[in-house]
Each structure stands twice: as structure tokens, then as C-alpha cells.
Structure 1
Amino acid sequence: MLIITAYGVFAVSSFARAGYQIVPLPQEDKVQFADAPLALTLSAFAAAVYIIATLALARTTTTAWKVAMVAVLIEMIGVIGVGAWTLVQPELFEVATVWGGFGRDYGFIPLILPFVGLFWLLKHRPAHSP
């Protein structure tokens, strides 16, 4: 239950952050999508991955397990890839993202979470039907 809660928290927080960063509000001084399309698109993608992972982890079917496994692997690749990318080309990531700096703004939990999720999924593989 703890792993589902952790993914749920990241699903909600990353979705809220991406929405706040992307959706323009009148008379508000904030970064617009046109100013940082790559970073903000990656924030929205991370939110979608966390939402899918949360929903799949909350179910107990074989299909849900497979979907969760794919989502967690995408998350792992994403946080490592985007984290490295932010070090190599920081000028592309002037706007913070969930996976930027390996999840630095979130206490590096985005870097740790996929490894915990993968461990949990491998320990809770669905039984094979004959």
C-alpha cells in the first residue's frame, strides 16, 4: 500500500506542477510554455507516467502488473536520462521539472522510487496460469 501511496503522491504533485507551469493564467508573471517547451513537455510526460504507474500498481491483474512494469521502467529511464540531460544542457532546463537534476527538487525521491517500484514488482509477480 505504501508504494501505491508514494506513486499517487507523485502522480498528483507532478500533474499539478505541470498543469500550473503549462496552463497560462491571466495577469500572472510566470514562465509560459513557449519559453520552455522541452522542460514543460517532459514535466507533463512524467505526470502521465506517474498516473499510469499508480493506477496499474493499484490493480492486481497480470495485465496491470505488466503495465506497471513498463511504466516503472519508463520512469527509471526518464529520470536518469532527463537528469543527465539537465547536467549536459542546463540551458534547456531553466524551468524545473520532476525528473530534472535526477529529481533534485523532490529530494531525489524520483531517482529512488523506480528502483523501489521495480523491486516491489519483481517480488510480487503474478502467478502464471496453467
Structure 2
Amino acid sequence: MGTLIITAYGIFAVSAFARAFYQITPFPQEGKVQFVDAPLALTLSAFAAVVYMVATLALARTSTSAWRVALVAVLIEMVGVIGVGAWTLVQPELFDVATVWGGFGRDYGFIPLILPFVGLFWLFRHRP
């Protein structure tokens, strides 16, 4: 199960990074929203990518310090997906551009909402 969780986090790290990179790059493309048009949403996409990268790397290690880093990253992810998800419902005009955590991870099949709970369960079952 651990390998599956690490793989899921790795997929989300790559996916969130690619999405943020594409959205934030300054190269004008037809139909592409620029950073100046939606800085909050695009910054949140980049932040989610960093959180997923840190979680992936920490989950893949077995030290006590890596466990703590993974715990913090997964907790940040949980707060992020719930907070941003609620925020997108309250102020949808701020989120004209979709983010990984927007709508509680709606664009990703709500997996971003489920993944931190699974990650926390696994972390507490495998505490060093």
C-alpha cells in the first residue's frame, strides 16, 4: 500500500507541477490565462505542486525526520484542499482558472480530497 500511496503522490507532484508551469509561464498563447489575470489561483497551483513534491520525497524515505516532514506536508495538503475548496465555493470569482485543490479537487476526480486522509492513515500506521 505504501508504494501505491507514494506513486499517487508522485503523479500528483508531476501533474500539479506541469499544470502550474504551463499556467504561470509568460509565453502568450491563445486561450491561455496569464498570471496577471489570475495570480491567486495560479500561485495556489504552484504551492500545491511544491506540497506534493515534498510529500512524495518524504514518504519515499524511512527516517524519523522524513516521517515528520511527510506528516507536515500531508497536513498542509489536507488544510489546503479543504480551505481552497471551500474558498472556491464562497468566492468563485477569484478562481476563474482551475487549481488542483479548487472545488475540493473536482478536476482530479476529488482524489486530492481523499489522498491526504489515506496518507495520514498510512503515516500513522507506519510511524517510526
Cα distance in 2, alignment partners of residues 35 and 15 from structure 1: 19
Q: How does 1:49-128 map to 2 (within 5 A)?
A: 49-126=51-128
RMSD: 0.5
Residue type at the aligned position of 1:68? A
TM-score (structure 2 length as normaliser) = 0.97
* Bigger-Rg structure (1/2): 1
Length, aligned pairs only: 125
Equivalent in 10, 32, 36 of residue 34 of structure 1: 36
Residue type at the aligned position of 1:69? L
SS of structure 2 residue aligned to 1:19 = helix
SS of structure 2 residue aligned to 1:2 = helix
TM-score (structure 1 length as normaliser) = 0.95
Which runs of 4 or more aligned residues in structure 1 lie more than 3 Å from their structure 2 counterparts after TM superposition?
Answer: none
Report the counterpart of residue 21 of structure 2 in structure 1: 19
Cα distance in 1, alignment partners of residues 43 and 123 from structure 2: 28
| Identical counterparts, % of pairs | 84
| Pair 1:6 & 2:33 matched | no
Show CA shifts across 1:38-74 (max 9, x none).
Answer: 0000000000000000000000000000000000000
CA drift of 1:25 comes to: 1.8
